[in-house]
Structure 1
Amino acid sequence: MDQNNRLFATVVALFSFVAFAGPPALAATPPCSAANFSVARFDAIQRGMSVDQVVAVIGCGPTDLGSQSTRQWRLLTWSVGAPGTPALSISVWFDTSNWQAQPLVGPSFKIAQGF
């Protein structure tokens, strides 16, 4: 293996071990139910809110802690739905440097589904 290939392999190996910071520790919350999802709750989520503030608005903890993420952004999702029924969900992008709700691209930082 030549020097360039060794350098590339080393960079790839190091990059694969870089961990993304997780969201701040959340207080114990009840599981989400259909009652946690409404237009009023969605509209109450504002840009700049912390994860804890969004949890307080929705009334339950996130069910997905960021399967979609980058080093600076994490999409947290709150959802409920049984197999064969429409899912209810709210997803919010957070800037991981301060864990505040912020748009990733354009003005939108939150997404609703099913209500």
Structure 2
Amino acid sequence: MSGEALFGADLSPDAAMLLCQSCGACCAYSAEWPRFSLESEEALALIPPALVDDSRGRMRCEGSRCSALKGEVGKSTACSIYAVRPDVCRTCQPGDPECLVARQHYGLPI
């Protein structure tokens, strides 16, 4: 089933946000995923240093889960640095391939 079939072609931004807040699978799927790529030095400086893994150029993770993720995956989640989250986090969208892989990993409907 495609992301469009799961989430609907006319998903509003508010509905997408609600889905993400009850999911969080993409933020807990892989410690290799939240890598910095296009961020400027200024943008990176806005992320609290305790959440940055400088040696690997990515967000710090606890196991496979991003340290900025709060809540329980599949129930209720939030990003503690949503306003300054890295570009890789901004590009992941409800129903895109990365989203669906992460949801499947956690046994969430796809």
Which band: TM-score by shorter chain?
under 0.3
More strand by share: 1
More helix by share: 2
Structure of larger gyration radius: 1
> Normalization by structure 1: what TM-score?
0.26
Higher RCO (C-alpha 8 Å, min separation 6) = 2
> Normalization by structure 2: what TM-score?
0.27
